Amino acid sequence: MEPITLLENKHIVLGVTGSIAVYKAVDLASKLTQAGALVDVVMTQAAREFVTPLTFQSVTGRPVYSDLWHRENEAGLGTHIAHVGLGEGADLLVIAPATAHTLAKLAHGLADDLLSVTALASRSPTLVAPAMDGGMYQNAATQANLETLRSRGVIVIEPEEGRFASGLAGKGRLPETAILLGHIRLALGKSGAMAGRRVVVTAGGTREPIDPVRFISNRSSGKQGYALAQAALDAGAEVTLITTVRDLPLPLGARTVPVGSAAEMLQAVLDHLEGADALMMAAAVADFRPKTTARQKIKKKDNSDEAPTLTLTRTPDILMTVKEHRAQAGWPRVVVGFAAESEHLLAHAQATLARKGLDFLVANDITAADAGFEVDTNRVVILTAGDAPVPLELSSKTRVAEVVVERVAAHLS
Ligand code: CTP
pTM of the model: 0.93
Domains, the chain, in order of start with CATH, read 5-189 (3.40.50.1950), 198-412 (3.40.50.10300)
Name the region of 86 (left: φ>0; alpha: ψ -120 to 50; beta: rest).
alpha
pLDDT in the model for residue 340: 87
Is residue 286 within 8 A of residue 318, CB to CB? The reply is no
Mutational test site, ligand 1, from 245, 265, 266, 285, max ligand atoms within 8 Å of CB:
285
Q: Which of 273, 321, 352 for mutating ligand 1's site (highest number of atoms within 8 Å of CB)?
A: 352
Q: What is the pLDDT of residue 270?
A: 97
**Sign (positive/negative) of CA torsion 279, 230, 260, 313?**
positive
Average pLDDT of the residues in 269-290: 97
Is the pLDDT confidence value at 324 over 70? yes
pLDDT tens-digit map of 119-135: 999 999 999 999 999 99
47 touches ligand 1 (CB under 6 Å): no
Report the alpha-carbon angle 389-394-400, nearest 5: 65
Question: For all residues of the chain together, what is the average pLDDT?
Answer: 93
CA 148 / ligand 1 centre spacing (Å): 50
The CB of 317 under 6 Å from ligand 1? The reply is: yes
Q: What is the pLDDT of residues 8-24, one digit of tens each?
A: 999 999 999 999 999 99
Q: What is the mean pLDDT of residues 169-176?
A: 94
Strand partners, 258: 243
Please pick, among 73, 139, 145, 218, the residue that the annotation labels catalytic: 218
Is 9 a residue of the active site?
no
Pick the residue whose CA is nearest to atom 25 on ligand 1: 339
Residue 79, pLDDT above cutoff 60? no
**What is the mean predicted confidence (pLDDT) over 251-265?**
98
Question: Does pLDDT of 198 surpass 70?
Answer: yes
pLDDT given for residue 116 in this prediction: 95
In the structure, what pLDDT confidence band is assigned to residue 75 with cuts at 50, 70 and 90? very low
Q: What is the largest CA-CA distance in the chain?
A: 87
- With a 6 Å cutoff on the Cβ, whether 262 touches ligand 1 is yes
Confidence of residue 78 (pLDDT cuts 50, 70, 90): low
In this predicted structure, the answer to whether residue 68 has a pLDDT above a threshold of 80 is no
**Which has the minimum average pLDDT: 82-91, 192-201, 225-234, 391-400?**
82-91
